[in-house]
Copies of this chain bind each other. A is one copy, B any other.
Amino acid sequence: MPSNTFGTLFRVTTFGESHGPAIGVVIDGVPSGVALDVKEVQHELDRRRPGQNAVSTPRKEADVVQVLSGLFEGQTTGAPLAMLITNSDARPGAYDHLREIVRPGHADATWQAKFGIRDHRGGGRASGRETATRVAAGAVAKQLLAPLGAKVLAHVAEIGGVCADTFDEAAIEDNIVRCADALAATKMVEAVAAARADGDSLGGIIEVRASGVPAGWGDPVFDKLDAQLAGALLSIGAVKGFELGGGFASARRRGSENNADATSAGGILGGISNGEAIVARVAVKPTSSISQPQQSVDREGKATTLEIKGRHDPCIAPRAVPVVEAMVALVLVDAWLRQRALVGGA
């Protein structure tokens, strides 16, 4: 049941609740002698942090990262890298009305069923706030991948029926929905605004590309690279689906057609990278917390009307982009280290 550690050789353990004193992450397995730039970690946290713009929650968190161990004179030492983020805008009292009510689409009832006790303050450990520590770890992973020439980049490919048609990497951080198609981005922003005005929310689809991954990373059988990516990405709260390369469309093709399309593999064959860009997509559900009154149940299962007063994102996909990148980076670093263990024979 310990479920708060990710990875085998690059092992990330996270902790902390949404409205507790702090959240944090310990990374064990960081190769030694690597110069780490803590500012880059902070930059990634800034991409994810709440309150950054009109399509995100108004909760204000500086999300300042503090390194507690594992760095010595700017370099990694082989000791665990611990990073801490203090919760500065925790408002546990704002959730008092949820002590007895379970919110639809949230882990409230299931956490209670599993553990018999629940921290109702903003979801406690089940809050999306937990992903900040993933982003911090992912930022370290990205710095390990960069010298190898590998790079992970995600963007929002679809929101509210609006799809990206072009891919301009430079555009992604220039619009608040993080879409690589500037024109589509404008329409996506409007769609989110409309949903918010209705007290409602939207979902979206995020596409992630890992370029520069050499052939030979990943494993056959159970720990296939795509299996690990799927597991990593489905572990993000709002993600409901994953597809690699041709994905669900491949299932509707003939073999001759699918074999002839170089992109259908998505960069992975038999669980092992083939040297081409790895391309995957994830489905992000619309934020479950909406301002409209909703039908719900209390802890005894009695029907009640719920009005959520917390601070929430009208569409979580843009803020999930750095989280998706982080999880993919974590998988890749682990695959890289696993591959190193294998290199050469006796």
Contact = CB atoms under 8 A, between A and B. Distances in A.
Interface residues of A, number: 149
Interface stretch (A57-65, A170-178, A181-189, A221-229): A221-229
Given A15-B82, A69-B15, A235-B221, A251 B256 contact: no
A195 interface: yes
Contacts of A201: 254-256
Given A17-B69, A248-B283, A288-B259, A107 B346 contact: no
A339 B114 contact: yes
A117 B26 contact: no
A244 interface: yes
A115 B246 contact: no
Given A78-B114, A130-B221, A244 B235 contact: no
Copies of this polypeptide in the complex = 4
A179 to B, nearest CB: 14
Interface of A: 1-6, 9-11, 13-17, 20-24, 26, 28-29, 31-34, 68-70, 72, 75-82, 84, 104-111, 113-119, 124-126, 130, 143-148, 158, 160-161, 195, 198, 200-205, 214-224, 226-235, 237, 240-248, 250-260, 264-266, 268-275, 283-290, 292, 294-295, 337-346
